Structure 1
């Protein structure tokens, strides 16, 4: 009985770690998207200022 609960616990830990890794990747991708969007907006504004 105890052995099965130990294995369940380790499996839960493993899935928890996998979920955390996925969340970390998601946050990194969101930050990358924000940086790309801000850079493109800055370039657009810069080009508009040069055009005038």
Structure 2
């Protein structure tokens, strides 16, 4: 990734960074353990964004 990024790329990366987090604990309680983890988690080394 270059150090000079366009604003669009920077926005895209910021969105992906925000999405890549575990689910809150209260959702765990609310769904009665139906949703245990975030299935859309992404590891920086295993799965690339395709930029």
Bigger helix fraction: 1
- The structure whose Rg is larger is 1
Which has the bigger relative contact order, CA under 8 A and spacing at least 6?
2
User: Which TM-score band (shorter chain)?
Assistant: 0.3 to 0.5
What TM-score results when the alignment is normalised by the length of structure 2?
A: 0.32
What TM-score results when the alignment is normalised by the length of structure 1?
A: 0.32
